[in-house]
């Protein structure tokens, strides 16, 4: 058996731990393990590397992905899907281990009807896949965000400023909500709900009247101001149709100052929270996923994703996992309730 491993979309903590565990498990069964470089790009134009446990044994703590990644979508290229299938055959790959989020797994799911055999692993710091308790990469991102925001807090407190921290999260505000709660944010803003500037400013004004000029706002990049004159959505789209989101932090900071007279500063955490060494949780979780994915391939399973349910790693249909998972309104309300 020959298994190809690819990672696509944004990187996050834990991908290398997963690759390491998968290679380890594959070798146990005598399988040949092949790394595909730059996600689907490495199958559109074959770019592969042979992987032995010796190659990967020391990468459990490394951030990023040794296989590199891209947002290449074979369906955006004339004859792309056919090329991928042709190359899978040419490379002699019996099955793929697809490490990705909604976009990367979506491609694999579509290719399944053309005969692709694969098992997917839920990779994304955004935590926006369904049918799993959590995606790997999320815990690492939240921990780095919390460490950074704790630092933003002390300088903000000292200068009696409103500090606006912008974190990644295009369609779901998981990182903003978790980091916001963990850091004691007074305002938490997520894409799940349009931002009401009057409400935001009333929290800040109330605190100001109580003698507290410092406030902490944590906003997901995908949070949108209702009736904003300035768009935070870039014009350029990636191959999966996603725009680059930019500027909600800056917009909020300037609006806050204009409306309340409070001094405000914005900090964009961006890629800082996606890179770097994964958390211990993600290292262990990704290791379990990698081993389980190879076991499922061995059992002949396909078009399924390894997932965490309580203490167990199980398999779920990819089609179900791809349903976007949003932050519940009750969790968002809890996060927003500390602005007193
Ligand atoms: O990995 C998903 C994500 O983190 C989104 O939250 C964010 O909008 C996007 O990646 C940014 O990715 P990049 O700038 O690397 O293309």
Q: If you write DSSP's letter for every residue of 146-175 in order, what string do you get?
A: HHHHHHHHHHHHHHT-EEEEEE--SS--HH
Which own/partner contact pairs does 327-335 have at CB distance under 8 Å and 24+ positions apart?
Answer: 327/172, 327/173, 327/174, 327/177, 327/190, 327/192, 329/192, 329/193, 331/177, 332/173, 332/177, 332/188, 332/190, 332/192, 332/193, 334/181, 335/177, 335/180, 335/181, 335/185, 335/188
Pocket test for ligand 1, best of 63, 65, 124, 126 (most atoms within 8 A of CB): 126
pLDDT tens across the length of the chain (340 residues)? 999 999 999 999 999 999 999 999 999 999 999 999 999 999 999 999 999 999 999 999 999 999 999 999 999 999 999 999 999 999 999 999 999 999 999 999 999 999 999 999 999 999 999 999 999 999 999 999 999 999 999 999 999 999 999 999 999 999 999 999 999 999 999 999 999 999 999 999 999 999 999 999 999 999 998 877 666 777 789 999 998 887 999 999 999 999 999 999 999 999 999 999 999 999 999 999 999 999 999 999 999 999 999 999 999 999 999 999 999 999 999 999 999 8
126 is catalytic: yes
What is the per-residue pLDDT for 314? 98
pLDDT of residue 230: 64
Tell me, what's the pLDDT at 229?
61
Ligand 1 center from residue 138 Cα (angstroms): 13
* pTM of the entire predicted model: 0.97
The atom number, within ligand 1, closest to the CA of 10 reads 1
Please tell me the residue having the least CA distance from ligand 1 atom 16.
Answer: 10
Count the residues in the chain.
Answer: 340
Ligand 1, closest atom to CA 168? Answer: 6
Q: Which of 126, 128, 139, 303 is catalytic?
A: 126
Residue to mutate (ligand 1; options 10, 105, 239; most atoms within 8 A of CB)? 10
Residue range(s) of every CATH 3.40.50.460 domain in the chain: 139-273
Residues with CB under 6 A from ligand 1: 9-10, 124-126, 168-170, 221, 245, 274
Phi and psi (nearest 5°) for 26?
-60, -45
Highest CATH level, class, for 139-273 = alpha beta
- Residue intervals in the chain for CATH 3.40.50.450: 2-137+276-321
Hey, which of 8, 140, 171, 274 would you mutate to test ligand 1's pocket, going by the most ligand atoms within 8 Å of its Cβ?
274
- Nearest 10 degrees: CA dihedral of 275, 280, 282, 287? 120
What is the rounded CA–CA span in Å between residue 267 and residue 292? 39
**How high is the pLDDT of residue 225?**
87
CATH class as words, domain 2-137+276-321:
alpha beta
């Amino acid at each position: 058996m020959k298994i190809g491993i690819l990672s696509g979309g944004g990187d996050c903590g834990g991908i290398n731990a997963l690759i390491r565990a998968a290679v380890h498990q594959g070798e146990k069964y005598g399988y040949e393990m092949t790394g595909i470089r730059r996600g689907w790009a490495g199958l559109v134009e074959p770019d592969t590397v042979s992987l032995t446990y010796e190659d990967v044994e020391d990468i459990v703590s490394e951030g990023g992905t040794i296989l590199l990644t891209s947002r290449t979508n074979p369906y955006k290229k004339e004859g792309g899907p056919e090329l991928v299938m042709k190359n899978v055959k040419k490379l002699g790959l019996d099955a793929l281990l697809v490490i990705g989020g909604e976009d990367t797994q979506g491609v694999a799911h579509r290719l399944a009807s053309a005969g692709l055999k694969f098992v997917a692993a839920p990779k994304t710091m955004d935590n926006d896949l369904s049918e799993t308790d959590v995606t790997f990469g999320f815990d690492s991102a939240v921990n780095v965000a919390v460490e950074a925001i704790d630092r933003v807090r002390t300088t903000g407190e000292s200068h009696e400023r409103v500090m606006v921290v912008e974190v990644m999260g295009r369609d779901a505000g998981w990182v903003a909500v978790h980091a916001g709660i963990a850091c004691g944010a007074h305002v938490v803003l997520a894409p799940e709900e349009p931002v009401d500037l009057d409400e935001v400013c009333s929290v800040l004004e109330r605190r100001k009247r109580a003698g507290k000029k410092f406030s902490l706002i944590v906003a997901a990049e995908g949070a949108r101001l209702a009736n904003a004159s300035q768009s935070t959505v870039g014009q350029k789209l990636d191959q999966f149709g996603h725009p680059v989101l930019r500027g909600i932090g800056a917009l909020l900071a300037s609006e806050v100052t204009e409306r309340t007279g409070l001094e405000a500063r914005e900090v964009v955490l961006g890629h800082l929270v996606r890179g770097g060494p994964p958390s211990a949780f993600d290292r262990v979780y990704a290791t379990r996923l990698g081993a389980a994915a190879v076991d499922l391939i061995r059992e002949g399973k396909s078009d399924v994703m390894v997932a965490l349910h309580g203490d167990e790693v199980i398999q779920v249909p990819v089609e179900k996992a791809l349903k976007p998972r949003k932050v519940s309104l009750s969790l968002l309300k809890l996060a927003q309730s500390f602005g007193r």
